[in-house]
Amino acid sequence: MTDKKLGINTRCTHAGELNDTQFKGAISPLYMSTSYAFEDVEVKRYPRYFNTPNQVALAEKMAALENGEAALIFGSGMAAVSNAMMAFLHSGDHVVLQNTLYGGTRNLIMEEFKKFGISYSFTKNLKPESFEAEIKENTKVIYIETPSNPLLTITDLNAISKIAKKHRLVSMIDNTFASPVNQNPIDFGIDVVIHSATKYMGGHSDILAGTVISSEAHIETIFQLAKNFGGNLSDYTVWLLERSIKTMGLRVKAQNKNAKKLAKYLEKHEDVERVYYPGLRSHPDHELAKSQMRGFGGMLSFELKDGINASLFQKQLKMIKPSMSLAGVESTILLPTLTSHALLSAEERAAEGIKDNLMRFSVGIEEKEDLIADLEQALVAVKELKV
């Protein structure tokens, strides 16, 4: 069940299934053992080697969803990011990264890479020529994120792929915000696709995981490092994640629909200064997003007008939860300055365009009328506060 011609819901449901040969159950059995036989077996299975039955099956599902050849499952999204990059970077190497990135990734680069003698450059903007301008003789990797966290910027996948191939570099993308439902970067020539599977793949705010999908050759390179770093996921969580992915196509399509309607509502609101959502015609890269995405995602960001305190506004919400993560079936909201990008300095956030009143809104599957009503009452309430 890995044929990419199959529909997304079919692949979510059936790719990488484990057959219950003993009892003929309808779902994948769970193999909890951390110890397996080593004599007279084809595969010496060990959890840290990413090859227990449930790990192997879920990796097949991940590869099928992203049209890749192979995958690895990690204990978190950052484990996936760090293992993927470190597998292709050594002392003396250089990496080019887009200037708008998840704060945790940026912090990894700035705090850890110098310890390993790895240099890096952030682009000045997202134009292809900005990436090419930063390439040096020792550059080995180009790393992008589209749509980006939290400003939903869009990077041209075709252009980055061509630049990487021209200079014989490994291209990598954090595809978390899009999910495999909305975007498949491998189809555009990107080499390595990374997800925080905690987000849309898990989808219920109760699983921490990450995944890397690529060619068999690249996954083998990553595996040789990852088995030593020990960042695999427990089999019980692997099993839970496989279960959750079965409904990902349905969930994400509902979130796409809601987010687009909420973005249009907020864009017209008198108390909102700006909305960031690639599905809006006002988004500067709307046409580019249309060319490489099947849906625009469930994430948006917005800024309230001066004089309306964003933190107090969030405290007035009754249904939408001020919460740290994203992409669950429930709608959540946060301030990047206090959460996802808190590790960056004020100057670094300003350079990325992240203002103190910027809010990242992860739209869930609730009825849009109920979400709009909650936003409305919170705006009324915050303006009535004497602060």
Catalytic positions, written as ranges: 48, 102, 174, 199
**Cα separation of 131 and 288, whole Å?**
17
Give yes or no for a contact between 80 and 194, defined as CB atoms under 8 angstroms apart.
yes
Terminal CA-to-CA distance of the chain, rounded, Å? 58
Tokens standing for residue 353: 């365009």
Nearest-angstrom CA–CA distance, 363 and 333? 8
Q: Is the dihedral of CA 291, 195, 327, 126 positive or negative?
A: negative
Distances (CA, A) of 46 to 9, 33, 224, 291: 31, 9, 14, 42
